[in-house]
Structure 1
Amino acid sequence: MPSAVRVYLTMVSLIAFANTVMFTTYAVYYINTLDFNPLQLILVGVALEITVFLCEIPTGIVADVYGRRLSVIIGCFVLGLAFVLEGSALYISVLSFIAMVILAEIIRGVGETFVSGAQGAWITDEVGEDNVGKLFLRARQITLGVEVIGIGVSVALASYKLNAPFIVGGLTYLVLGIFLLMKMKETNFIPAIAERGNRNTLKVISNTLMSGIKEVKKKHILLMLTFVTFFVGASSEGFDRLWELHFIDSIGLPKLGGLSTVVWFGIISIGSKLIGIGVAEVARRKLDTRSVFSVNIALLLLTSIKIVFIFLFGASVNFPMALTSFWALTVIGTIYGPIFDTWLNQNIDSKVRSTVLSLMSQVNAFGQTAGSPFIGTVGVRYTVRAALILAAVLLIPAFIVFARMLKLVKNSSSKTSGVGH
């Protein structure tokens, strides 16, 4: 196994472990300990997404100009500090709980943007565009196994103290930063500042940004994926922030064996990961990630199924129905992300890959920032059910665009076959 692949799989595994430890039980910490209401839960997400929106382009340019390795390492250290701070909110009385969490999420947003575009761009250059699709799916399969372990750790830590998962998750990111300093190499990409010389840094940065924007403008498929990214972001933030509250307040968790809320969320999460491992293996073996048509139809089908199950989850009146819908959604998410990332990376020039990926992340953040307060307000004024159903509705434009893209792909294939190919 190439060194870059080992480093990448280690990186995504540690990130998956840290995130699972923190986010399996974070809602219980927010709701039961910090006493956040639906709108406050959404505001925490908005603070994160506004930060991401503002920082994606600058950090993406840093990755293309100065190197993806540097960007990822900076991001890991910043994320580690942010999560330790968030877990320490209970012990710091200078600000209110909501203010402390929002501050930590702002710092987290900066760290996320350093990692987001650079991580995928780095490994795509190291292994090649033709090989990265299978690697993304393989990485997702491995991280699902890691996440099962992370869930157990999260439940154990949260059962001891609800803020402990954030402390452990933050420390894991700091350890990852040290590991990457020692092991991560960048061999197949020359940073723009090195390639063009160090005479005019501002000009190099400006040229990189303009090249990234031109890349999106000249490729019709990237423009359409930008539109999709906006609505996916608008829908996802509301769902991600409210699904736990829906289980706790709208549905109610079973009272079997006196299991706590934390343990129930662990059970729900483990079930989704175990199912996801099998689905990821099937996708890795069966899906031709080099075929534009196969990727397009997969994304179209996954989006349509996601709309249906978000609606069913929001409309659920009992625990079995809600659990089945939620597990279906998490399985869809398991393969949707790697497939979408593969398509993006295969359609972007290597020299501006981080910048364009950051542009996409910025659009996603804008969608989340624009859509989530609306969804949160509906949740407060009406019901969490209504808010979740609205999240399903916001995905419909993405489905329409994927359908349009499939038609364009078919037309392009027909023209190609008609000229002797």
Structure 2
Amino acid sequence: MDIKNKLRKNVLLSYIYSFLLGLDITSAIWVLYLAFKGMSLVQIGALEAIYHITSLLFELPTGAIADVYGKKLTVVLGRAASVVSCLLMISSSSFWGFALAFVISAAGMNLHSGAAEALSYDSLKALGEEGSYKRIWGKVNFLIGTAQGVALILGGILADIKFLYAYILGGLIQGAAFITALGFSEPPEGEVNERGTGNSLIYQVKTSIKVLRERKVVLYLILFSALVGSLQTTVFFYSQQFFSDMGYSKTAIAVICALGCFIEAVTSRYAYKIEKVLKLMGSLIIIALISVGSLVGLGFFRSYSIIFFLFISITGGVAYTIFSAYINERLPSEYRATILSFDGLCFSLFMIAVFPLFGVLAHKLDFHMTFGLLALLYIPVLVLLTIKINKYCKNSLGDVKNDRISFK
């Protein structure tokens, strides 16, 4: 098979791989599962913090590993770690057992994040078709969102029968994703980077930081993306207990979360069309307004909680697809996975701060008041980042002409 066919196969496999990745049976029930296993809300918040502390420590190194040693290898290792994590979740019964499972799960996602996205973009770039990335990445996210919706319903049904069944099926699906990842081919831009021999990983990280200093619009887009992602993720996971406290069954909660995923999938699919109309700044403003407005609604309008929960799902679909395209357009290929991993690092920083805080506040106060307080925290930061992006985005496209960065 010639190189072009291998690269086109990468695109096809990315659809299958992404669908399997999104088919996370346990995503709608892990909070309930941990509560069933005797974990308090504070302990659940601490476990999520452990997950993101691990991500914080490993995100940039795993991105550098992908750029230096190959994106395919990194993705394959990530899926293997996810299988091990699922087995630990099944066999553990203590806080520290779950903590180890969360550490390995975080490492698995670190290995995936940045590397899988960079592999897809560099495959298209090598084919001279990077202009279609926004549309293709929208399809990828559509498949992820659709798979998540199916997984949530299936996971909720299985959890109502027995939690164990959901985690067994989850492990089998991760195994299928591992097998699919083995079929990827390394794109030319992803070949082993020989620069900085002997200290290549340190060199890779330092040079990637230099790229971010020189291309500030990328830095602020990453921060905005991570902030919105942390908001949506916090709402999504704590909504499991939130809706449970309101009297909904596990199956009903799964259906609500699945509807949110389907909405996110559809908005991902057509995000490139939305961006054509609103442009970058218009998209940022709409995303910020919907995010904050949904939090306010969850905080003060109990009867419409489901509607506001579904409304916030719009932001995930639009934001992830649009930000991914804008960021990738402005990155040198040889540092792509490392810098994309910085997005995950920022997301972890926000989650380390927000997720445990939300758990403590919800435990001491209630969910509605906590949603309102979260809105107050996010408003000034979103406004500041929007102003910064507007300042730096006008001249940023000129950065991609100097695709090589020298580090001294």
* TM-score, normalised via structure 1 length: 0.84
Deviation at 1:140, TM superposition (A): 1.6
Maintained 8 Å contact 1:233/1:365: no
Is 1:266 aligned to 2:239, yes or no? no
Maintained 8 Å contact 2:266/2:317: no
AA matched with 2:281: N
Partner of 2:32: 28
AA matched with 1:184: F
Deviations along 1:229-265, one digit per CA (max 9) or x if unpaired, are 564466455434422222122x333xxxxxxx12101
Partner of 1:402: 386
My pick for the range that moved more, 160-169 or 40-49, is 160-169
Is 1:62 aligned to 2:65, yes or no? yes
Maintained 8 Å contact 1:235/1:392: no
Deviations along 1:105-153, one digit per CA (max 9) or x if unpaired, are 0111111100001011110100134221111111122233333432342
Maintained 8 Å contact 1:4/1:184: yes
Is 1:119 aligned to 2:104, yes or no? no
Separation of aligned partners in 2, 1:168 and 1:41: 23
Separation of aligned partners in 1, 2:111 and 2:151: 24
Partner of 2:402: none
Partner of 1:418: none
Deviation at 1:41, TM superposition (A): 1.8
Structure 1 gaps, min length 5: 91-95, 254-260, 414-421
Is 1:368 aligned to 2:369, yes or no? no
Partner of 1:211: 207
Deviation at 1:277, TM superposition (A): 4.3
Is 1:42 aligned to 2:42, yes or no? no
Separation of aligned partners in 2, 1:300 and 1:323: 23
Change (3 A) 1:53 1:34: same
Change (3 A) 1:138 1:284: farther
Deviation at 1:349, TM superposition (A): 1.1
Partner of 1:13: 19
Change (3 A) 1:78 1:409: closer
AA matched with 2:383: F
AA matched with 1:186: E
Change (3 A) 1:387 1:38: farther
AA matched with 2:141: R
Is 1:168 aligned to 2:169, yes or no? yes
Deviation at 1:190, TM superposition (A): 4.0
Change (3 A) 1:190 1:358: closer
Separation of aligned partners in 2, 1:387 and 1:141: 31
Separation of aligned partners in 1, 2:139 and 2:190: 27
* TM-score, normalised via structure 2 length: 0.87
Maintained 8 Å contact 1:50/1:365: yes
Is 1:297 aligned to 2:282, yes or no? yes
Change (3 A) 1:134 1:345: same
Separation of aligned partners in 1, 2:37 and 2:300: 28
Maintained 8 Å contact 1:84/1:171: no
Which of 278, 285, 293 is residue 308 of structure 1 equivalent to? 293
Partner of 2:191: 191
Deviation at 1:177, TM superposition (A): 1.2
Q: Equivalent pairs: percent with the same residue?
A: 21
SS at match of 1:394: helix
Which of 361, 365, 388 is residue 382 of structure 1 equivalent to? 365
SS at match of 1:287: helix
The size of the alignment, in residue pairs, is 386
Deviation at 1:311, TM superposition (A): 1.7
AA matched with 1:405: I
Structure 2 gaps, min length 5: 398-408
Deviation at 1:391, TM superposition (A): 2.5
